[in-house]
Structure 1
């Protein structure tokens, strides 16, 4: 077991050398290439004054410079702050200000510094590697402090679940600022196998890419499976090397159809940024297909419920060190010695845990977590808005879509022009996936004794929340 991510990178470079490691549309890097280039970047950061423990942000699309920057930052002893490339002014300012980032890497030029790294920065397994921002349970995005040990254990659990083989090829389409490409990078370092990184997810092109690159492993989540399933059947759907698809939130009634269409088993992997992988379904557990079972706890983890159908509680390793700058939120999340996931679940007769809803004040739009409080703050900055409440409404494609209820200031009319103005205001300040899909005006909100909006009164089950008097906005997710 390697103590740090740089240790693993250097071991992989020595062991696998000229084998292909990172494959992008126009570039291929070997393990030795990636090690040397990230060494040069690390030296460049040190020369620019970056100190161990400093935070360095990465804001790029899925290009080779992203994983090289991540590895270089860690080799310099600094902490990486992945930033969603779709962030706009408000959410970007929050992440950069909150993290205290001393530098932001945004171009490949930083990976071309000529001098080699001469000094290895001493690191330990419990040193923080990432400030990984997540919406958490409520409020604005918070930085999960993730150590080298956290990342290595996460990758090893996934490697054990997929039963890595020497001829495997891993394919990933999510943005590198998310968790998935990062642990997939480490999984490929462990196994000495290539990681194919697509520029973005395309429902129509995903399986063509899988065939082109000979992918045997992948991880998809959120709306990705349903979007792929909605594509017209292709005569070569089963003409691929895929031997396992990992997925979070497989739709039970389509599980068998997914496997039959693409000729590979689909297995659940459940976890969070805070706690890493918490439940896994073994590759050979065919009896779980279509049941909604999320799996069993992997070695090092304990998973319990606080009642028969209750909150899912987790403890063990890997686990974040806590939320940066939020000791009270950290204490609340770990009350009683367990991490409180905010998800509800129940256990079946075989011991598998199933999902049964969520306690979090969030909207899960496809694969994206949207903090209601963050969006509400931006909405209430519009001159017409007095108060705002964001709530999730069910959607067949995205799982959930955000709907905004707005109480207007006097002198502003509850009409389409006002709604458009508010949405345009939000669009300038937030990532597109956070923009409300629907807007509804209210005369007043029902408040709790502590003067908080009582959201449970907003979504009345007797009417379709997508219909009038709601006003639909842009519902597409970029």
Structure 2
């Protein structure tokens, strides 16, 4: 059965003059639903009529947050095309891997990433058209400027039959093998997450959120952005996280909703303005993406702020739980009870174990990874790999990770991916990467290295080797040289005991 896939057309028909977006990159320009729908229609015509994009084709975008990025998201929805948001923190070689994986026919890119685009061109044979967002960017003669859309019609496009299971977004997450994999976010899953969030978090058309989380993350796309489109609220589009902007908007009451990762809240609390900002008009202040340190909760509570933590995955929502107001301070750090159309259970018979999730908000699996999809979604349940506890009142808390994932400032780092790069250094015999506590980022990678005999490998040499091979946030912040790595009786590297022995801050 077809699903409503043209969200902006429906919103424009319901409330054409209400404000949908506020573009902080262009002097807080206010964009109505009717104006946004017109812009997305022209964008869809650029993709379809000029660039030849059809239903099921992938459209990659490498850009900072901007309204054009959101136009592309909903233009793909109109056409039944698939958006592939690219993580701009990745190196050129990592980006090339993702392009080979999804084979997009179009790559739209912002002016900040011209060097990366030129680096990936030779290997991106699948890309038929490179589309610069900025007219001033250097480009080849055959490139098509994004601004060509302005000359195109904003009339409704011919109808397209889009099914609930049709992919809408390929959102990349890490993999246990260190190779990124894309969760297939379908029209069904994105719609279900929006409905869950609106109903369970009590969002309304009067709510306004600040979008400063990167749009290549599900947090930027789906914590508040798509749910607010669904309910008819307003999104303030910001290029990046700016503490002063957040404080200005919170203090003035211009926003009612704010989502961030723990690193953002730590930096906010370290800022001299923190104690003078009035948080009382915020309806919801929520942290996600990584475990949040207890002192962050306590300082917000001291200010009278009901600061919450959420739990989500790229594969599920990401919104899954809700903590009622009366429990926020009684159960600090708990994620709460499942949202309206979310089922949660623990693997095993007790009240502690691996968290499993089920519901229409789950992605449909991993792009071109049938074996991993079958394993992760066995029995119709998402096996999260995270450990949780459920109390007598049915409230869930996340207590740890069964995977080896390192979460640094909300970014996922898989040790094996970093290890693969370090192991390529000719003077490295063995390497194991662990996470160590960091006051700013929560965790950062540390490399435990066994050097080859007769070499003079140093920390500086190894860190320099990572430049250009790994995104900056994945690069180890420290290196410890060992005579040998601890191993289990089966001969495998004993990562857990290595972390205990060498995971201290110093």
Verify same fold: TM over 0.5: yes
Match of 1:303 among 333, 344, 359: 344
Distance in 2, matches of 1:194 and 1:434, equals 34
Q: CA deviation at 1:64?
A: 1.5
Match of 1:402 among 424, 445, 453: 445
Query: What does residue 20 of structure 1 align with?
Result: 19
Q: CA deviation at 1:365?
A: 0.5
Contact 1:220 1:247 in 2 (8 A): yes
Q: Which runs of 5+ in 1 are unaligned?
A: 468-478
TM-score, normalisation: structure 2: 0.84
Query: What does residue 235 of structure 2 align with?
Result: 195
Q: Which runs of 5+ in 2 are unaligned?
A: 110-131, 134-144
Write out aligned runs for 1:147-186 (5 A).
147-183=186-222, 184-186=224-226
Secondary structure at the aligned position of 1:459 is classed as: helix
- Tell me whether 1:460 sits opposite 2:495 in the alignment: no
Alignment CA distance shift 1:427-1:146 (3 Å): same
Q: Deviations along 1:148-180, whole A, 9 cap, x unmatched?
A: 111111122222233123432111221111112
Write out aligned runs for 1:255-294 (5 A).
255-261=297-303, 263-277=304-318, 279-294=320-335
Alignment CA distance shift 1:137-1:210 (3 Å): farther
Distance in 2, matches of 1:71 and 1:336, equals 32
Query: What does residue 101 of structure 1 align with?
Result: 104
- Tell me whether 1:62 sits opposite 2:65 in the alignment: yes
- Tell me whether 1:313 sits opposite 2:315 in the alignment: no
Q: For this pair of structures, how many residues does the alignment match?
A: 461
Secondary structure at the aligned position of 2:65 is classed as: coil
Q: CA deviation at 1:450?
A: 7.0
Query: What does residue 224 of structure 1 align with?
Result: 264
Alignment CA distance shift 1:388-1:203 (3 Å): farther
Match of 1:142 among 174, 177, 181: 181
Query: What does residue 141 of structure 2 align with?
Result: none
Query: What does residue 388 of structure 1 align with?
Result: 431
Query: What does residue 335 of structure 1 align with?
Result: 378
Distance in 2, matches of 1:140 and 1:455, equals 19
Query: What does residue 3 of structure 1 align with?
Result: 3
Match of 1:354 among 397, 418, 423: 397
Query: What does residue 146 of structure 2 align with?
Result: 110
Query: What does residue 283 of structure 2 align with?
Result: 243
Alignment CA distance shift 1:17-1:28 (3 Å): same
Distance in 2, matches of 1:302 and 1:377, equals 37
Distance in 1, matches of 2:46 and 2:489, equals 55
Distance in 1, matches of 2:312 and 2:279, equals 31
Distance in 1, matches of 2:328 and 2:460, equals 49
Q: CA deviation at 1:420?
A: 1.9
Distance in 2, matches of 1:342 and 1:302, equals 16
Query: What does residue 132 of structure 1 align with?
Result: 171
RMSD of Structure 2 on Structure 1 (CA) = 2.4
Alignment CA distance shift 1:14-1:278 (3 Å): closer
Contact 1:245 1:266 in 2 (8 A): yes
Distance in 1, matches of 2:228 and 2:20, equals 7
Distance in 2, matches of 1:145 and 1:352, equals 29
Secondary structure at the aligned position of 1:271 is classed as: coil
Secondary structure at the aligned position of 2:499 is classed as: coil
TM-score, normalisation: structure 1: 0.89
Query: What does residue 473 of structure 1 align with?
Result: none
Q: Deviations along 1:326-385, whole A, 9 cap, x unmatched?
A: 112112212344211111111112111111110112110021111222222222222332
